[in-house]
Amino acid sequence: MNIKEIKNKYLEKDGCMYGRRNIEDSLALLYHENSKFTSHSARVEGQKIMGFNNPFVNKRAYQPYKCYPGTKRVDLNDYKDTVPQKELVATLNQRRSVRNYNPTYKISLSEITTLLYQSYGVNNSQELYNVGREAHMGLRNVPSGGGLFPLEMYVVIQNSHIPSGLYHYRTDLNELECLKEGDFKDTLAGIIQAEPYVQIRDASMVMLVTGVVERSIIKYGDRGYRFMLQESGEVAQTVSLLGEALDLGSCILGGYLDDKVNEFLDVDGVFESINNIIVIGGKIKQEECHEKDS
């Protein structure tokens, strides 16, 4: 028996939760290895990136604003300066995932605005170099690879002062575009694997974050996919902290049926696909817990 056969024999008997058997067919590691930079690939990609920086491309690439013409809109701009006054470190220390929500809590337009505008809304602008005043880059509170901002924000309003339904957030206008009205609690509960651990039906709002992958990879190639996922995480953490500052509970979910969610959002699932889901609702106060237990 040679050394390879011996290794294979021991591998068959290996009951460890770690080890080669867990990663040898991993698509994630395959992508990770093939999107690493070496001194050579970094130079090659650098040349492509420099080629991206021309006025014609920049003028279009830095206006990443998806819109739904003809839809009913909800203007959030009256509330964008109403922000919670809570110290950052205290908010960081108090943030925890909340899985049970007050089913009677109506999330206000002011709270919705803070969660959306302060996380991904355009709150400043910068003129594009060598393009002129007619084109600018919209800046936001989270960093984005190359300032390309590949994410889109959708919210399902379940309990608020505006009609329940699916909305798209216009990051450039700070407005909600109503895509379809209705109660989608059962629909979401069927395509998001949350219950019974996260009470999604009791939440006031569900935020669904998609990624438009071409916005990143057109400049950064396969490496751009990493940047998009990083940005999705940055937005999720920012929303969680904003929720805590508003005394709202939130929980970031990873267990969902991707294509079913994409179908619900009416996106193609290829060029634009779901990246992140955040459930948001009113916290159940301690005295309310005691009342339920009694």
Amino acid letter, residue 106: K
14 in a structural domain: no
Per the domain annotation, does 175 fall within a domain? yes
Residue 5 within a domain: no
> In one letter, which amino acid is 44?
V
Which pLDDT does position 135 carry in this prediction? 66
**40 or 280, higher pLDDT:** 280
In this prediction, residue 287 has a pLDDT band, given cuts at 50, 70 and 90, of low
Find residue 181's DSSP bridge partners. Answer: 165
More confident residue, 19 or 213: 213
Q: Which residues pair with 168 in a beta bridge?
A: 154, 177
Q: What's the confidence (pLDDT) of residue 52?
A: 75
Give per-residue pLDDT as tens, 112-143: 999 999 999 999 877 766 665 566 778 899 99
Name the domain count of the chain. 1
Is the Cα torsion angle 229, 227, 218, 171 positive or negative in sign? Answer: positive
Helix segments in 65-137, DSSP class H = 88-94, 109-120
Residue 241 belongs to some domain of the structure: yes
Domain assignment of residue 191, yes or no = yes
- Ramachandran category for residue 195: left, alpha or beta (phi over 0 → left; psi -120 to 50 → alpha): beta
Predicted TM-score (pTM) of this structure: 0.88
**Domain span at 163:** 35-293
Residue 294 pLDDT exceeds 50 = no
Average confidence (pLDDT) over 22-39: 82
Residue of 224, 190, 188 whose CA lies nearest to 207: 188
Q: What average pLDDT does this structure show over 94-109?
A: 96
Confirm whether 197 is domain-assigned. yes
Q: Is 237 part of any domain?
A: yes
What pLDDT is recorded for position 129? 63
Tell me what pLDDT residue 110 has: 96
Could you tell me which residue, 82 or 155, shows the higher pLDDT? Answer: 155
Name the more confident of 127 and 237: 237
Is residue 180 predicted with pLDDT exceeding 50?
A: yes
Say if strands 205-212 and 272-282 run parallel, antiparallel, or are unpaired: antiparallel
pLDDT at 130: 61
**What CATH number has the domain bearing residue 41?**
3.40.109.10
Supply the pLDDT for residue 288: 56
Number of residues that this document lists for the chain: 294
Q: What is the mean pLDDT of the chain?
A: 89
Asked if residue 257 belongs to a domain, the reply is yes
Share of the chain above pLDDT 90, in %: 64
Q: Kindly indicate the confidence band of residue 290, based on its pLDDT and cuts at 50, 70 and 90.
A: very low
